[in-house]
């Protein structure tokens, strides 16, 4: 055995015994490994978890403005409240009726699903239709800073701005 072969053997021995040592110390198990040109490659799957910000979102918010398009002037809204419940349901009081549905969070991403109008006491207005469409098709992220909620689209444009309702 020449010096370079002995060195490769020693390197592999150290890598293998070091791996056994790290596994015995509670390090993550590796799914598969293979050796190529004196280098050991490991293929492992790494899970990532995003923080859940639901506790910041739950409650009632008064929506002040709605932007139908990114560069358009915002619509000023009056008496529109959105309520996020702990059971992942939400409702929007529109004055005339209620939009209800389910929301799903993943980190700071939000998805509104099954958005339907209920308890209608008058005609479904164009503003309510825009609100329903923006929630179900455009909003995909949110930011909460102090008592301000910003619902954003995929390009981080603010679609809705809301203030936390005081009890």
What is the C-alpha to C-alpha distance for residues 19 and 22, in angstroms, rounded to an integer? 5
Ramachandran quadrant class, 156 (left: phi over 0; alpha: psi -120 to 50; beta: rest) = left
Residues 2-61: pLDDT tens digits?
Answer: 655 655 555 555 556 555 444 444 444 444 555 556 666 556 555 555 566 788 899 999
Within-domain flag for 49: no
Shared domain check, 90 and 34: no
- The position carrying tokens 């639901």 is 54
d(CA 118, CA 64): 22
Find tokens 């790494």 and name the residue: 46
Is residue 28 included in any domain, yes or no?
A: yes
Q: Whole domain around residue 38: which residue ranges?
A: 3-43
Helix, strand, coil % in the chain, rounded to nearest 5: 25, 40, 40
Higher per-residue pLDDT: 92 or 97: 92
Establish if 48 belongs to a structural domain: no
From residue 36, give the alpha-carbon distance in Å to each of 3, 41, 55, 104. Answer: 20, 8, 49, 44
Q: What value does the mean pLDDT take over residues 85-94?
A: 92
**How does pLDDT run across 17-31, given as a tens digit for each residue?**
555 444 444 444 444
Do 116 and 38 fall within a single domain?
no
Do residue 33 and residue 102 come from a single domain? no
Distance CA 81, CA 94 (A): 7
Look at residue 133 in the predicted model and tell me its pLDDT. Answer: 93
């Amino acid at each position: 055995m020449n010096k370079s072969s002995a060195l490769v053997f020693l390197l592999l021995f150290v890598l293998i015994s070091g791996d056994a040592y790290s596994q015995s110390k509670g390090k993550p198990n590796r799914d598969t490994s293979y050796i190529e040109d004196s280098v050991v490659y490991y293929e492992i799957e790494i899970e990532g978890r995003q923080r859940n910000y639901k506790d910041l979102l739950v409650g009632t918010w008064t929506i002040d403005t709605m932007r139908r398009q990114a560069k358009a002037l915002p619509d000023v809204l009056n008496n529109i409240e959105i309520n996020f419940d702990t059971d992942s349901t939400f409702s929007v009081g529109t004055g005339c009726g209620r939009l209800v549905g389910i929301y799903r969070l993943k980190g700071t991403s939000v998805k509104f699903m099954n958005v339907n109008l209920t308890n209608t006491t008058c005609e479904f207005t164009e503003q309510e239709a825009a609100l329903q469409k923006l929630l179900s098709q455009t909003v995909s992220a949110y930011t909460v800073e102090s008592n301000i909620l910003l619902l954003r689209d995929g390009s981080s444009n603010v679609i809705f701005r809301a203030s936390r309702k005081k009890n």
